[in-house]
Amino acid sequence: PTATVETDVVVVGSGPAGAAASLFLSTLDVPNIMITKYRWTANTPRAHITNQRAMEIFRDMGIEDQVLADATPHDLVGDTVFCTSIAGEEIGRIRTWGTRPDREADYQLASPCLTVDIPQTYLEPILVRNATARGTESRFSTEYLSHAQDADGVSVQVLDRLTGAQYTIRAKYLIGADGARSKVAADIGLPYEGAMDIAGSMNITFRADISAYCDHRPSVLYWVVQPGSNVGGIGAGLVRMVRPWNEWLIVWGYDINEEPPVVDEAAATQIVRNLLGMPDLDVEITGTSLWGNNEMYATHLQSGRVFCAGDAIHRHPPSNGLGSNTSIQDSYNLAWKLAAVLKGQADPALLETYSAERAPVAERIVKRANKSSREFVDLFVALGVTAAKTEEDMVRQIEERKANTPQGAAKREALVKAMELKNYEFNAHGVELGQFYESSAVVSDGTSRPEPSRDPDLYHEASTVPGSRLPHAWVGDNKRRLAMMDLAPYDRFTLITGIAGEKWEVAATKVADELGVPVRTVVIGPGREVTDLYYDWAKLRDTDESGALLVRPDKHIAWRSGSLPSDPEAALRGALSQVLGKD
């Protein structure tokens, strides 16, 4: 006889999407079981770049300090080098991840957090530890086999890989965060656009102390242009920092239409020595693996009580560093909605907004990452190496950039443009932070999103048009400095207003009681809970002082009122009811 255990939500996967989903659900006191196939979390470093939005989410969960303690700090992430090898000549550098002073201003103004770098092998244990401490039942060596759903719930069939025993978990909802080869997504037949395995990459992890080449140009990425570096892969050869400056990951392409290469220790050592330009270097190879580059996204993310998140719904190369970040953000969007429905605060219709809001994000990031990877071609064309037939020819072409000849001058000019283009991969602030939602969980106030005044991929523009992420400003008093996001915790809705809007407070209390959903009002102004320390919020809020912003648990603006209406209670009731699917 097989036992049946019960819970509210089953999460399949302990990667960034799954571990984060469990953490968010447990933080909201939603019973959940996280199952994962292997005996522990990721065993290779994989994704590293942890962008401002993900860091904000960690801040919200109270684990930002734990992530920072294990991360390579912001000031060491961004002096990105393009070279012929680590010990070889430089072709150029670009300041990345918002580290160039003018761009750093954009990043600092937009968020209380900055981009840092943490290998997945360090991040996942932090997420799993906190999720488990807060209530998640974590089941390792446990494989998802199948599920069946009915009107009241989902029965999930799982296999204990230690004992071989199968059992059923009966839940209200199932989240498939089981990665790029998601069985859950296949089982619910999610629709996809795009293709998998469009190019081949190999990962080689190794130890070698190369501080002498990094201390003065600290970066997490060193791009190498060498014979073979434009074959397959992610655009060019990459020497990727795992820990500064003695643990590394090389990403090197191969032709996916040929037999997969055999990467034994000797072959791996040779590739490492070539990319480092250090023919005699003592290297300790710690691992090798082959992986396919994908360009695929799901156009719908849910079937009834089953949802997918993370690589299960977006598959793309690491360019722009979006994989793990977006996976965490998917779960952040979904978990509060599940909690609201499970607690009877919202109608199940709210859950449909997950797909409406996150499927466009999946499409955007998959396209952006692949475009960035392809844009490396411009660098190769600028150098003239795409046409090079032999290794010698390639070296000659790269050398030509030094020549005092018309060809040399043209090459230098082309390089300026090709390097400029890489900002779309490494300083794409708009892509990283500018997620905007349109769904029934966002109530229009009749305004539309302002036309971007600068390139929307490169630049983030703060806005309070419903659907936008709550803009950042510092508020507080003589004892505390808080970010705007700190005023709006994950376990409730928050109504933000000014002193002239104090009447909203009574309205919010009544509506919250009536709808049975927590809503807290924050009045910003001198002598109130917090004040607008730098007078920045007054310029950002885009409402009268008496207006109000209704902020969702995930810090997106659900609705706004430009000023205090004659009946604030009715206005708020209408908006919140719609968001909760109760109208």
Question: Where does this chain bind ligand FDA (CB under 6 A)?
Answer: 12-18, 35-38, 44, 46-47, 120, 143-144, 177-179, 183, 203, 289, 291, 310-312, 318, 321, 323-324, 327
List strand residue ranges (DSSP E) for 14-57, in order: 32-35, 49-50
Cβ distance to ligand FDA smaller for residue 44 or 299: 44
Using CB atoms within 10 Å of the CB of residue 417, give its burial: 0 to 12 exposed, 13 to 18 middle, 19+ buried: exposed
Closest separation in Å from C-beta 60 to ligand FDA: 19
Min dist CB 328 to ligand FDA, Å, is 8
Find the shortest distance in angstroms from Cβ 183 to ligand FDA.
Answer: 5
Kindly tell me which of 51 and 577 has the beta carbon lying closer to ligand FDA.
51
The tokens for 281 are 């270097």
Contacts of 469 (CB under 8 A, 6+ apart): 53, 433, 434, 435, 436, 555, 556, 557
In the complex with ligand FDA, which residue's Cβ is closer, 112 or 318?
Answer: 318
Tell me which H or E stretch contains 142: strand 142-149
Q: At closest approach, how far in Å is the CB of 300 from ligand FDA?
A: 17
Whose Cβ is closer to ligand FDA: residue 22's or residue 561's? 22
Residue 326: CB minimum distance to ligand FDA, A: 8
Q: Which is nearer to ligand FDA, 44 or 132 (CB)?
A: 44
- Residue 192: burial class (beta carbons within 10 Å; 0-12, 13-18, 19+): middle
Q: What's the closest the beta carbon of residue 558 comes to ligand FDA, in angstroms?
A: 27
Residue sitting closest to ligand FDA (CB)? 310
Q: Quick one: angle between helices 120-133 and 16-27, nearest 10?
A: 30
Determine how β-strand 247-254 pairs with β-strand 237-243: antiparallel
Residue 143's CB is within 10 A of a number of other CB atoms, namely: 18
Q: Which amino acid is at 356?
A: A
Q: Closest approach of Cβ 306 to ligand FDA, in Å?
A: 14
SS3 316: coil
CB of 208 to ligand FDA, least distance (A): 19
Residues in Cβ contact with 484 at an 8 Å cutoff, skipping those fewer than 6 apart: 470, 471, 472, 473, 474, 475, 496, 537
Question: Which CB atom, from 16 or from 237, has the smaller least distance to ligand FDA?
Answer: 16
Q: Which is nearer to ligand FDA, 306 or 550 (CB)?
A: 306
- Phi and psi at residue 391, in whole multiples of 5°? -60, -40
- In order of 100, 417, 443, 557, the CA distances from 446 in angstroms are 38, 41, 9, 14
Nearer to ligand FDA, 310 or 525 (CB): 310
CB of 265 to ligand FDA, least distance (A): 18
Task: Please name which of 565, 528, 526 lies closest in space to residue 543, comparing C-alpha atoms.
Answer: 565
d(CA 320, CA 51) in angstroms, rounded, equals: 10
Give least dist CB 144 to ligand FDA, A: 4
- Residue nearer to ligand FDA on the CB measure, 263 or 382: 263
CB of 155 to ligand FDA, least distance (A): 16
90: closest CA among 338, 277, 299?
A: 277
- Report the nearest approach of ligand FDA to the CB of residue 178 (Å): 4
Would you say 14 or 435 has its CB closer to ligand FDA?
14
Q: In the bound complex, what is the minimum distance in angstroms from residue 468's beta carbon to ligand FDA?
A: 25
Of the pair 156, 341, the CB lying nearest ligand FDA is at 156
Q: Which is nearer to ligand FDA, 30 or 242 (CB)?
A: 242
Question: Which of helix, strand or coil describes residue 261?
Answer: coil
449: DSSP letter? P
The whole-angstrom distance between residue 123's C-alpha and the CA centroid of its chain comes to 13
Greatest Cα-to-Cα distance within the chain, rounded to the nearest angstrom: 82
Which ranges constitute the DSSP H helices of 390-438?
Answer: 391-399, 406-421, 423-426, 429-433
Beta carbons within 10 angstroms of residue 283's beta carbon: 19
Residue 135: phi and psi, rounded to 5, are: 135, -15
- Please, which residue, 37 or 472, has the CB nearer to ligand FDA? 37
Residue 211 and residue 106: Cα distance in Å, rounded? 30
